[in-house]
A = this chain, B = another copy of it.
Amino acid sequence: MKENLNHQYSKNSIKGVEILSIGTELLLGNILNTNSQWISEQLSSIGVNHYRQTTIGDNLERLTKVIKEISLRSNLLITTGGLGPTPDDLTTEAIASAFNAPLYEREYLWVEIQSKLSNLVINTETSSLRKQCLFPENAQIVNNSRGIAPGMIWTPTNEFTIITFPGVPSELKEMWKESIHEFIKTKFSDGSIFFSNTLKFAGIGESSIAEEIKDLLKLRNPTVAPYANLGEVKLRITAKSTCKDEALKEIQPIKEKLEKKFTKYIFGEDDDTLSSVIIRILKNRNESIVFAESCTGGLLSSSITAENGASEVFKGGIIAYSNELKQNLLSIPKSFLDTHGAVSAEVAEKMAIGVKEKLKADWAIAISGIAGPKGGTAIKPVGLVHISIISPNNKLKNIKKLYSSRRNRCEIQKLSVNECLNSLRLILLSYKG
């Protein structure tokens, strides 16, 4: 019996699966390792026990050593990168050397590679491309339909199999689907799957949530795991099961507990965003919305218009970044701006009223604040934001926020937009009008 990640015990006797990413560019931080994440997702979806990832540079000695190491503790190694024609591409060589196996050229592969590169003039004797045809004697070739370098499935010892992929994500994905998915599922999965359902929270911090659900965070199957982004927390409930329906049954009671405990803090699940939820609610009510933005400078509008279907509820907006435009476009008198200051509850209100009238919508949100780094004073520091939301019956709701001085300009803008959207959501939840 062996612990499968932090999930339940798994019935099979598989020692484990590892991923090895090969490439000095990864160690230099030149590129992001998206391949490891993608393969991890694939392995999870077929319930395969994967417990370690390693990244290593293009160095024959270190590569050979790490492959030997892995062969002693795992059953399956999936490698990415290092299959190309340059002197830095050493994966197949290192694997062969780890098991003292010679490499042989597959003639038919060289014919294939030449035909793939038909518009390139190749010296067939000396071309560096030729090394992509070298494999251990009993390796099974994995065709690369999107690129040049083939991969392999090789079982050098009874207990250990290696699968090699090129580093180009599109080639890897296609090879996985065409040749590897079924192979791994048949040979290395115990037949179970991991299935996840994510609840999304706004208006509450990760520590507050964690503090309230200590018991749930200790569960082993399903597991409950929190993730936090700027202004948004997610709880992912993951069940290991034999099929999706079974997994959903296990997830349901946890979900209900969370929904009962956090009710209005939960704004959606999985692919929902605050914007998509608001579009859905307004569409159902057949109501429209417009914005007047100052400190967020278009970010509120672009958050809504990033979503499919925005045009069904969003009519448009006015970005009154300068005071001059607050006067001209939103009809706020200069004297009023002078008296209260552009960043004030009074001006935010007038902006909301102005934009709703002028753009003729059911709802309007106005926002004025100081995103910094300049423009703050002792009384109105950077991070001060006033929001005003006006409803179809012309009722106003004013919100004042003061974001921490450690927040930068873009963070203040993003947090303000989240506050606008979540406040509107909460108003819409109880709005009878």
Contacts and interface: CB of A to CB of B under 8 A. Distances in A.
Interface of A: 3, 5-6, 24-34, 36-44, 50-59, 62, 66, 84-88, 117, 120, 122, 127-129, 145-146, 148, 168, 170, 194, 196, 207-208, 210-211, 214, 217-218, 223, 225-228, 230, 236, 238, 291, 293, 296-306, 308-311, 314-322, 324-325, 328-329, 358-360, 371, 373-375, 406, 409-410, 413
A32 B293 CA distance: 33
A128 B211 contact: yes
Given A27-B40, A53-B27, A317 B305 contact: no
Contacts of A41: 28-30
Nearest to A373: B308
Contact of A316 (B127, B299, B322, B358): B322
- Nearest 7 Cβ contacts at the A-B interface: A297-B305, A298-B301, A29-B40, A29-B41, A298-B302, A298-B298, A53-B55
Given A52-B55, A318-B316, A359-B325, A29 B37 contact: yes
A318 B298 CA distance: 9
A387 to B, nearest CB: 17
Contact of A26 (B43, B53, B207, B360): B53
B128 A214 contact: yes
B299 A302 contact: yes
A359 B33 contact: no
A230 B147 CA distance: 12
Contacts of A306: 297, 299, 409-410, 413
Nearest to A359: B325
Contact of A5 (B57, B236, B328): B57
Nearest to A326: B316
A321 B316 contact: yes
Given A298-B298, A301-B298, A316-B318, A43 B57 contact: no
**Most-contacted residue by chain B among A52, A225, A311, A319 (CB, 10 A):** A319
Given A29-B38, A32-B34, A88-B217, A359 B328 contact: yes
B315 A322 contact: yes
Nearest to A230: B170
Contact of A44 (B29, B58, B293): B29
A52 B308 CA distance: 42
Contacts of A210: 84-86, 128
A194 B41 CA distance: 34
A127 B57 contact: no
A217 B316 contact: no
**Most-contacted residue by chain B among A53, A87, A300, A413 (CB, 10 A):** A53
A410 B86 CA distance: 30
Contacts of A207: 85, 117, 120, 129, 148
Nearest to A73: B65
Given A6-B58, A129-B207, A306-B409, 13 more contacts: A5-B28, A5-B59, A25-B236, A33-B33, A53-B55, A87-B214, A296-B302, A297-B310, A298-B303, A305-B371, A316-B320, A317-B318, A325-B359
B30 A227 contact: yes
Given A210-B128, A227-B31, A296-B305, A310 B315 contact: no
Given A86-B226, A128-B210, A413-B306, A33 B37 contact: yes
B57 A208 contact: no
Contacts of A230: 170
A59 B3 contact: yes
B410 A225 contact: no
Contact of A406 (B44, B145, B218): B145
A296 to B, nearest CB: 7
A42 to B, nearest CB: 8
Contacts of A321: 301, 305, 310-311, 314-317
